[in-house]
């Protein structure tokens, strides 16, 4: 049996719980079924992590064997080999001016569990259109390495941006925990570069849904990498996550009631993460938007709220009609 289906089993289970049991309207169910199909086809999203990001160019490493490659803006592989070979090739591309440097204010955008960079493109496009900053999509092989490894890999991405000015973060779901793990590992000089952070649907206190699945023996046994951190090892992982030392705001999905989107979860929720699980002491602003966990990145209200916080350190009042559950 191939490795990818095994480590994807926990992701598929979480997705089925969120999308199949939440009782969504037909249109939302069809849209989310399309999302699930794309997830299953995205093998490479689970295999490669970015080590260097230059606009839409990237040098990636495969955690399972250390192989490296360089992708151009169309995601075509232009070089594959050892880390030394790929770093030399990237340096040559930079010297020729093919790959431009990243300068000035920069926003790093990180996806969630079992997803890839493509899931973040809707909100990244909005930020590129509205911010005077370079917006970089950062990918990581969520189920092929744990949060510790992802935090260290993010550190390498940041270290490879010496000309970037102030750095901000936008994370969806697990991506927020990757940033928080990096923050716990980073030195003071790197942390002083951080401006603001927006957390979208973050499982800051773990996930009841993940713990439920962790109680199913065969599913817990299939969980690997960061999925295992959530499902099995959360008690060990949570103390290793830093509270952001910068201004940060949290956007949670929910109906604004005590029922939420999922009948499996207690209280308000976005069908994957409960509103209470997103909260974190020290947040500078908090917002609940009536939107499903997977649809959050496409919701105009969430996009505008993210833009507002990155600009001003607070969320602008949302337009309820703009959110799409």
- Write b or e for each residue in 250-269: b if 16 or more Cβ atoms lie within 10 A of its Cβ, otherwise e: bbbbbbeeeebbbeebeebb
Percent of the chain with pLDDT over 70: 77
- Answer whether residue 228 shows pLDDT above 80: no
The predicted-structure confidence for 257-272, as pLDDT tens digits, reads as follows 988 898 888 899 998 9
Do 206 and 254 belong to one domain?
yes
Say if 296 falls within a structural domain: yes
- Dihedrals φ, ψ of 306, to 5°? -65, -45
Domain with 86, as residue range(s), is: 56-99
Do 94 and 219 belong to one domain?
no
Quick one: residue 114, left, alpha or beta (phi over 0 = left, psi -120 to 50 = alpha)?
left
Do 189 and 64 belong to one domain?
no
Say if 121 falls within a structural domain: yes
Model's pTM, two decimal places?
Answer: 0.83
The predicted-structure confidence for 121-180, as pLDDT tens digits, reads as follows 999 999 999 999 999 999 999 888 888 999 999 999 999 999 898 999 999 999 999 999
Say if 322 falls within a structural domain: no
Do 80 and 224 belong to one domain?
no
Domain count within the chain: 2
Do 89 and 135 belong to one domain?
no
14-28, 154-168, 189-203: least confident range: 14-28
pLDDT at position 243:
97
Say if 325 falls within a structural domain: no
What residue spans of the chain are helical by DSSP H? 3-20, 26-41, 83-95, 121-130, 147-159, 174-185, 188-191, 208-214, 217-222, 225-231, 234-237, 275-278, 300-312
Say if 64 falls within a structural domain: yes
Say if 67 falls within a structural domain: yes
The pLDDT mean for the chain works out to: 84
For the domain that residue 253 is a member of, what is the CATH number?
3.40.50.1820
Do 8 and 80 belong to one domain?
no
Q: Which of 64, 99, 134 corresponds to the end of one domain?
A: 99
61-75, 223-237, 307-321: least confident range: 223-237
Do 131 and 239 belong to one domain?
yes
**Mean pLDDT within 287-308:** 95
CA distance 209 to 225: 17
Band of pLDDT at residue 318, cut at 50, 70 and 90: low
Do 63 and 193 belong to one domain?
no
Do 151 and 95 belong to one domain?
no
Do 148 and 81 belong to one domain?
no
Do 61 and 79 belong to one domain?
yes
Q: Which of 99, 132, 161 corresponds to the end of one domain?
A: 99
**Mean pLDDT within 288-300:** 94
Using a 10 angstrom Cβ sphere, with 0-12 exposed, 13-18 middle and 19 or more buried, the burial of residue 240 is middle
pLDDT at position 319:
59
Do 26 and 122 belong to one domain?
yes
């Amino acid at each position: 049996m191939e490795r990818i289906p095994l480590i994807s089993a926990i992701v598929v289970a979480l997705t089925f719980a969120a999308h199949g049991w939440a009782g969504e309207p037909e249109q939302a169910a069809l849209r989310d079924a399309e999302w699930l199909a794309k997830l299953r086809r995205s093998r490479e999203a689970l295999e490669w992590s970015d080590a260097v990001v230059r606009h839409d160019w990237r040098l990636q490493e495969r955690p399972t064997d250390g192989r490296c490659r360089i992708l151009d803006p169309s995601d075509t592989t232009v070089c594959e080999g050892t880390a030394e070979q790929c770093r030399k090739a990237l340096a040559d591309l930079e010297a020729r001016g093919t790959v431009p440097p990243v300068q000035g204010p920069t926003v790093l955008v990180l996806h969630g569990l079992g997803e890839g960079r493509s899931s973040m493109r809707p909100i990244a496009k909005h930020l590129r259109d509205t911010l005077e900053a370079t917006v970089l999509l950062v990918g990581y092989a969520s189920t092929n390495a744990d949060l510790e490894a992802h935090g260290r890999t993010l550190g390498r991405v940041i270290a490879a941006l010496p000309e970037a000015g102030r750095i901000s973060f936008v994370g969806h779901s697990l991506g927020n925990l990757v940033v928080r793990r990096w923050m716990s590992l980073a030195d003071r000089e790197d942390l002083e570069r951080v401006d603001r952070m927006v957390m979208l649907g973050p499982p800051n206190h773990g996930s009841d849904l993940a713990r439920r699945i962790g109680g199913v023996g065969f599913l817990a046994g299939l969980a690997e990498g960061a999925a295992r951190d959530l499902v099995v090892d959360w008690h060990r992982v949570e103390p290793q996550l830093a509270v952001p030392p910068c201004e940060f705001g949290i956007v949670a999905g929910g109906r604004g009631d005590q029922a939420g989107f999922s009948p499996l979860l207690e209280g308000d929720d976005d069908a994957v993460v409960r509103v209470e699980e997103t909260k974190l002491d020290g947040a500078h602003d908090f917002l609940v938007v009536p939107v499903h966990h997977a649809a959050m990145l496409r919701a105009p209200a969430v996009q505008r709220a993210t833009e507002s916080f990155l600009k001003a350190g607070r969320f602008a009042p949302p337009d309820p009609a703009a959110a799409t559950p």
